[in-house]
């Protein structure tokens, strides 16, 4: 879906989550402009910080 949005010209802040992170996956999504790759389970404080970052809030 992220690739399709980029192809359509939409570069929205994106946070990927996965239970199986790899260095290759992280490099791939960061190269395409995603904010981060969050490993499950994510703690509430980290999710809140990342959402604020994505929304441009302090």
Separation between Cα atoms, residue 42 and residue 5, nearest integer Å: 25
The angle formed by the CA atoms of residues 2, 52 and 6, to the nearest 5 degrees, is: 15
Query: How many domains, in total, are found in the chain?
Result: 1
**Domain ranges, residue 38:** 2-55
Separation between Cα atoms, residue 43 and residue 30, nearest integer Å: 21
Separation between Cα atoms, residue 44 and residue 8, nearest integer Å: 32
| Predicted TM-score of the model (pTM) | 0.80
Separation between Cα atoms, residue 37 and residue 44, nearest integer Å: 15
Split at pLDDT 50, 70, 90, the class of 36 is: very high
Split at pLDDT 50, 70, 90, the class of 8 is: very high
Alpha helices, DSSP H, located in 1-58: 2-7, 23-31, 44-55
Q: What is the pLDDT of residue 26?
A: 94
């Amino acid at each position: 879906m992220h690739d399709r949005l980029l192809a359509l010209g939409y570069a929205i802040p994106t946070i990927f989550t996965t239970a199986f992170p790899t260095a290759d996956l992280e490099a791939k999504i960061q190269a395409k402009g995603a904010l981060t790759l969050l490993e499950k389970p994510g703690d509430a404080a980290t999710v809140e910080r990342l959402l604020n970052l994505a929304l441009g809030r302090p």
